[in-house]
Structure 1
Amino acid sequence: MDLLIVEDFMLLLLDDDSGSPAGAGTLHYSLGGALLVDLALQGRIEIESKGVTVLPGPPPDDPLLADALEKIGEKRRSTHSLLFVLGQGLSDKVTERLLERGLIRREQRKFLGLFRTTTWPADDARHEAELRAGLERVLVHGDDPDARTAAIIALLNSINVLYIVVSGPDFPWRVVAKRAYEIQQGDWAGDPATQAVMTTNAGIVAATASAVAVAAATGVANS
């Protein structure tokens, strides 16, 4: 199934049974980061010290990517600010796309018998199972990842939800944590083209982790 990274990322964050996402409080930042990774892997953007630069090329065919690229090109923003801008309302758009593909279903429940909430439990878990199996081959068995898989692992690790998303009773977590760190640093990349992509991804991942940390700290301070 040909999904964007931001769609696969959201699918992995959603708990199959409860339909609630891991890292919900800072979801707009992490999804914004995943959307930037999509554009980076398609060679449409580049991370620089002062922010994100749009590279020459036709508009993406996918409307979600095209809209993101247009927002990036509106004015110069820091990567941190851009994550917030891109992430606004993004979870709703991505879950609707996953719903249309039949991967999740919409359930409405009442919290404390008063407040209505919407959750997104799994409906067809086969694609997600393939994703998780691919992550396990890389993290546990030491397979070399492609740029897409490496980016997903780096994003999950940067927002501290990898242990939630990829779990198992016999997982060697020390090995997994070390491997995830290596991938996040781009140490696995051998060819120059992949290294260039991962350098851009590293900037996105670092900005995402920073934004999530700040948002989480602000939430604690205000609670």
Structure 2
Amino acid sequence: MVDDSPTDGTRLSLPEELLLLGWDDERGKNTGTANLLALLGGAAFLDLALRGAIDATGKHVEAREGDTGHPVLDGVLERIRTDRKSRDVKGWVGWYGQRNDLRDEVLDHLLAQGIVRREERKILGLIRLTRHPVTQRVRVEELRRRAGALLTSSEPLDDPRDAALGGLLEPAGGTLRARLVPRGQRRAAARRAKELAKGEGMSSEVADAIGEANAAAMAAITAAAAVSAASAGSSGGSN
């Protein structure tokens, strides 16, 4: 199949990048990302903050006027505007962390862009299996290379989106990071991701640009992951 990856350097949203970084090319789905649902929620709110589309500094998130032009992020903005309950970042990430909505919306947008394609087949004529192989392999491999470079560099990052992505790779877990860096660099990569998640390892300008939003997103992801783990443990214990 011809690879139709764009050559204009177009960058994906943070939720799209995170979903693709953990993509299993054989199984056609994400299998390598811990805390995926909460992580996507945190990534969406961090992305919106970087775009200036939300104000998350108060007791609840407020959507500013206008849209981003990105259908997934604009869908999040619409939920914020129409939701009857005012929520802070923690509340929203917790909400998304219990639902597949955002994951499905991100996948649909990847399909619409031709980055992945849908394949369906039946086993024994009864069980329907759906997988989504990557179509734009060059684009995805470049994303993985760039993410790996963020984790192995010792230089302060000077791009807010790179710093945000690098920090999100801390709660994304060691399985995902192991796919992005060589074995001998995995401990250093874990330390680097932790630094970025704490707002360190970046230039002062970048820290000023993402600091508050980054801290709120990381705290929200951690809280949502804890709730999810407790819920899973409770369910397991009742069986």
Q: Which runs of 5+ in 1 are unaligned?
A: none
- 1:45-84, aligned counterparts within 5 Å? 45-48=54-57, 50-54=59-63, 56-73=64-81, 74=83, 75-84=85-94
Scaled by the length of structure 1, the TM-score of the pair is: 0.84
User: Do 1:28 and 1:84's aligned partners in 2 also have CA atoms closer than 8 Å?
Assistant: no
Residue 199 of structure 1 pairs with residue 212 of structure 2: yes
CA distance in 1, matches of 2:207, 2:28: 34
TM-score for the superposition, normalised by structure 2: 0.79
> Contact between 2:56 and 2:62, CA under 8 Å: does it hold in 1?
yes
- Structure 1 contact 154–184 (Cα < 8 Å) conserved: yes
Compared CA separation, residues 187 and 25, structure 1 to 2 (3 A):
closer
- Cα distance, 1:48 vs structure 2: 3.6
1:57-136 counterparts in 2 under 5 A? 57-73=65-81, 74=83, 75-86=85-96, 88-109=100-121, 115-136=127-148
Between stretches 66-75 and 125-134, larger displacement belongs to: 66-75
Deviation at 1:210, TM superposition (A): 1.8
> How far apart are residue 148 of structure 1 and its match?
1.2
**Pair 1:42 & 2:43 matched:** no
What SS is found at the alignment partner of 2:56?
A: strand
**CA deviations over 1:65-98 (Å, ceiling 9, x no partner):** 2221122233411333312545542222211221
Q: Deviations over 1:162-187 (max 9, x none)?
A: 4344243x441221111111111111
Q: CA deviation at 1:105?
A: 2.1
Q: What does 1:131-210 correspond to in 2, within 5 Å?
A: 131-145=143-157, 146-160=159-173, 161-168=175-182, 170-192=183-205, 194-210=207-223
User: 1:110 Cα deviation (Å)?
Assistant: 5.4
TM superposition outliers: structure 1 runs of 4+ over 6 Å: none
| CA offset digits 1:13-36 (Å, max 9, x no partner) | 221221221367853322111211
**Does structure 2 retain, via aligned residues, the 8 Å contact 1:159–1:208?**
no
- Counterpart of 2:4? none
Instruction: Quote how far apart the aligned CAs of 1:116 are.
Output: 2.7
Q: Does residue 1:9 correspond to 2:18, yes or no?
A: yes
Structure 1 residues 167 and 190: CA distance shift in structure 2, 3 A: closer
Q: CA contact under 8 A between 1:50 and 1:78: conserved in structure 2?
A: yes
How far residue 127 of structure 1 moved from its aligned partner, in angstroms, is 1.1
Backbone CA RMSD of aligned residues: 2.7
**Identity across aligned pairs (percent)?**
33
Alpha-carbon distance change, 208 to 111 in structure 1, aligned in 2, over 3 angstroms? farther
